[in-house]
Amino acid sequence: MYGFSMGGGVALRVLTVTTDVKAALLYSPVSGDESKNIPLFEGLAGGRDPQFDGEAEASAASLVHISPSYHYTVITPPVLIFHGTADSVVPVSWTQETCDLLVAAGRNAGCIFYDGASHIFDGSAMQDFVPRMFDFYNIYLRQ
């Protein structure tokens, strides 16, 4: 499984509800905590997107229920996350928190941070990312 940005958040949700995934790679993912994502999604593209109507009114209990970060102990496949330290869209601290929580939950997880890279990698970050992605999948999908 591969997830970029908001797709990384979707991937985290999938990982908490199925054991069918053999390996997951996340690239500049949003938070596994929906209470953090709601303000981000509301501010994207300069205004509130109607697809997110009602999310800000969700109860704290509902957000805990649907937030992957509260369910990392059930994730079975290895997870590798990549994030740039100069990401102006998704805070790099969210990926650090996700990594810390996955490791604390005893999951096979790792994080790679690219100093100065933005939300979408280019240059040396992209040159390093692509072979690492293929190496990761080759290790876990050829078993």
- Note the pLDDT of residue 47: 56
- Note the pLDDT of residue 28: 98
- At residue 106, what is the residue type? G
Q: Is residue 49 part of a domain?
A: no
- Neighbouring residues of 93: CB distance < 8 A, sequence distance ≥ 6: none
Q: Is residue 19 part of a domain?
A: yes
- The CA-to-CA distance between both ends of the chain, in Å, stands at 15
28, 3 Cβ separation under 8 angstroms: no
Q: Is residue 15 part of a domain?
A: yes
Q: Is residue 93 part of a domain?
A: yes
Q: Is residue 7 part of a domain?
A: yes
Task: Give Cα separations from 78 to 111, 121, 136 (angstroms).
Answer: 11, 22, 9
Q: Is residue 47 part of a domain?
A: no
Q: Is residue 45 part of a domain?
A: no
Of 41 and 130, the one with more pLDDT: 130
- What's the domain count of the chain? 1
Q: What is the CATH number of the domain that holds 122?
A: 3.40.50.1820
Cα–Cα distance for residue pair 104/87, rounded to 1 Å: 25
Residue range of the domain that includes 76: 2-33+69-141
Give tens-digit pLDDT for 23-69: 999 999 999 999 898 888 776 655 556 666 666 677 778 888 889 99
Give tens-digit pLDDT for 70-124: 999 999 999 999 999 999 999 999 999 999 999 999 999 999 999 999 999 999 9
Q: Is residue 8 part of a domain?
A: yes
pTM as predicted: 0.90
Give tens-digit pLDDT for 2-27: 999 999 999 999 999 999 999 999 99
